[in-house]
């Protein structure tokens, strides 16, 4: 498994990787600049949380390591790793319907509420990593 030792990093393809689900105590990195945005990550075994410009973007319980996270007007895409199955919440557009894919399989459509949050469960315990893609329906 490839945890993100530096907690948050920019990748050559413009994506970001963040989180370290192997840490025993909460660790954070603030004021990380990526393509004009300011990012903040808090991570350890129990939770991983990412904020962009002070706004919620990602949270998992328990903590996860997230690789190649990309965000567009259509949604988000990333790979996630963890020691246990995780509940992942993503900050998206308010009251918008999205198609959710886990390892390239559509698990259905979900609609965000007024706060724009979408929650999914991801089975990580038996997998090395899981691909997640959430796109506007």
User: Is residue 39 one of the residues assigned to a domain?
Assistant: yes
Structural domain range at position 76: 8-136
pLDDT at res. 5: 84
pLDDT at res. 61: 98
Residues 3-43 have pLDDT tens digits of 788 899 999 999 999 999 999 999 999 999 999 999 999 99
Query: Residue 28: which CATH number?
Result: 2.60.40
User: Is residue 2 one of the residues assigned to a domain?
Assistant: no
What does pTM read for this prediction? 0.95
User: Is residue 3 one of the residues assigned to a domain?
Assistant: no
Q: What is the total count of domains within the chain?
A: 1
Say whether pLDDT at 2 is over 80: no
Q: Are 43 and 20 in contact (CB under 8 A)?
A: yes
Residues 74-129 have pLDDT tens digits of 999 999 999 999 999 999 999 999 999 999 999 999 999 999 999 999 999 877 89
Say whether pLDDT at 1 is over 70: no
């Amino acid at each position: 498994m490839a945890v993100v030792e530096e907690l948050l990093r920019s990748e050559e393809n413009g994506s970001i990787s963040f989180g370290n689900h192997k840490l025993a105590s909460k660790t954070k990195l603030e004021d990380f600049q990526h393509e004009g945005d300011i990012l903040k990550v808090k991570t350890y075994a129990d939770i991983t949380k990412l904020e962009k410009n002070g706004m919620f973007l990602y949270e998992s319980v328990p903590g996860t390591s997230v690789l190649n996270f990309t965000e567009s007007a259509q949604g988000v895409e990333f790979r996630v790793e963890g020691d246990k199955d995780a509940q992942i919440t993503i900050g998206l557009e308010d009251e918008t319907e999205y198609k959710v894919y886990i390892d390239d399989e559509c698990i259905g459509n979900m609609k965000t509420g007024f706060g724009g949050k979408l929650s999914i469960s991801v089975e990580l315990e038996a997998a090395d990593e899981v691909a997640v893609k959430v796109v506007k329906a």
